[in-house]
Structure 1
Amino acid sequence: MARYHIETYGCTANRGESRQIERALRDGGHHPADGPEEADVAILNTCTVVEKTERNMLRRAEELDAETPADLVVTGCMALAQGEEFESADVDAEILHWDEVPEYVRNGECPTTTPDTEPVLDGVVGILPIARGCMSDCSYCITKRATGRIDSPSVEENVEKARALVHAGAREIRITGQDTGVYGWDRNRGESLLPELLDRICDIDGEFRVRVGMANPKGVHGVREELAGVFAANEEIYNFLHAPVQSGSDDVLADMRRQHEVGEYVEVVETFDEYLDEWTLSTDFIVGFPTETDHDFQQTMALLRETRPEKINVTRFSKRPGTDAADMKGLGGTVKKERSSAMTDLKMEVMDEVYGSMVGDTRSVLVTEDGTDDSLVGYDRAYRQVAIPGAQTQGVEVGETVDVEITGHNTVYALGELA
Structure 2
Amino acid sequence: MATYHIETYGCTSNRGESREIERRLRDGGHRPVDGPAEADVAILNTCTVVEKTERNMLRRAEELSEETADLIVTGCMALAQGEQFAEADVDAQVLHWEDVPTAVMNGECPTPTEGTAPVLDGEVGILPIARGCMSNCSYCITKFATGRIDSPPVAENVEKARALVHAGASEIRVTGQDTGVYGWDEGERKLPELLDRVCDIDGEFRVRVGMANPGGIHGIREELADVFAEHEKLYDFIHLPVQSGSDDVLEDMRRQHRVDEFLEIVETFDERLDEWTLSTDFIVGFPTETDHDHEQSMALLREVRPEKVNVTRFSKRPGTEAADMKGLGGQTKKDRSKEMSAAKREIVGEAYESMVGTERRVLVVEEGTGDSVKCRDGAYRQVIVQEADARGVEPGDFLDVEITGQNTMYAFGDPV
Normalization by structure 2: what TM-score? 0.75
SS at match of 2:194: helix
Partner of residue 166, structure 2: 167
Aligned to 1:391: 388
Structure 2 CA distance, aligned partners of 1:117 and 1:385?
A: 35
Q: Does the 8 Å CA contact 2:307/2:347 hold for their aligned counterparts?
A: yes
SS in 2 for 1:388: strand
Q: Within 1, Cα distance between the matches of 2:284 and 2:16?
A: 21
Judged with a 3 Å threshold, the aligned counterparts in structure 2 of structure 1 residues 24 and 194 are, in CA distance, closer, same or farther, namely closer
Aligned residue in 1 for 2:142: 143
Q: Tell me the distance in 2 between the aligned counterparts of 1:21 and 1:320.
A: 18
For the Cα contact (< 8 Å) 2:140–2:317, is it kept in 1?
Answer: yes
- How far did residue 25 of structure 1 move? 9.1
Partner of 2:342: helix, strand, or coil? helix
CA–CA separation in structure 2 for the residues paired with 1:142 and 1:28 = 20
After TM superposition, list the pairs within 5 Å mapping 1:223-262 onto structure 2.
223-262=220-259
Q: Which residue of 2 aligns with 1:209?
A: 206
The corresponding residue for 1:268 is 265
Q: 1:343 to 1:180 in 2, by over 3 A?
A: same
Deviation at 1:204, TM superposition (A): 0.4
Query: Identity over aligned residues, as a percent?
Result: 68
1:143–1:38: structure 2 CA closer, same or farther, 3 Å change rule?
A: closer
- The question of whether the paired residues in 2 share the 8 Å contact of 1:351 and 1:411 is answered with yes
Count of paired positions? 328
Deviations 1:259-278 (A, max 9, x none): 10001000000000000000
- Work out whether residues 238 and 382 of structure 1, in 8 Å CA contact, stay in contact via their aligned partners in 2: yes
> CA RMSD for the aligned pairs?
2.5
1:159 deviates by: 0.3
- Give 4+ residue runs of structure 1 displaced > 3 Å after superposition: 19-33, 37-43, 113-120
Name the counterpart of 2:123.
124
CA distance in 1, matches of 2:168, 2:217: 30
- The question of whether the paired residues in 2 share the 8 Å contact of 1:117 and 1:129 is answered with no
Cα drift, residue 380 of structure 1: 0.1
State the Cα deviation string for residues 94-118 of structure 1 (Å, max 9, x = none).
xxxxxxxxxxxxxxxxxxx944799
- Over 3 Å counting, the alpha-carbon distance change for 1:212 and 1:23 in structure 2 is closer
Q: Secondary structure at the match of 2:271?
A: helix
Deviations 1:159-209 (A, max 9, x none): 00000000000000000001000000111x2x4200000000011011100
Deviation at 1:332, TM superposition (A): 0.4
SS class of match (1:363): strand
What whole-Å deviation, never above 9, does each CA across 1:383-419 have from its counterpart, x for those lacking one? Answer: 0000001122211121000111100000000011111
Structure 1 length as normaliser, TM-score? 0.74
User: Where do 5+ consecutive residues of structure 2 fail to align?
Assistant: 1-6, 18-43, 60-95, 102-117
Q: Which residue of 2 aligns with 1:40?
A: 54
Which residue does the alignment assign to 2:15? 27
Aligned to 2:282: 285
Paired position in structure 1 for 2:326: 329
- Note closer, same or farther for the CA distance 1:28–1:328 as it changes in structure 2 (3 Å cut): farther
Cα deviation digits, residues 352-372 of structure 1 (max 9, x gap): 000000000011110011011
Correspondent of 1:363 among 331, 338, 360: 360
Unpaired runs of at least 5, structure 1? 1-18, 44-66, 68-112
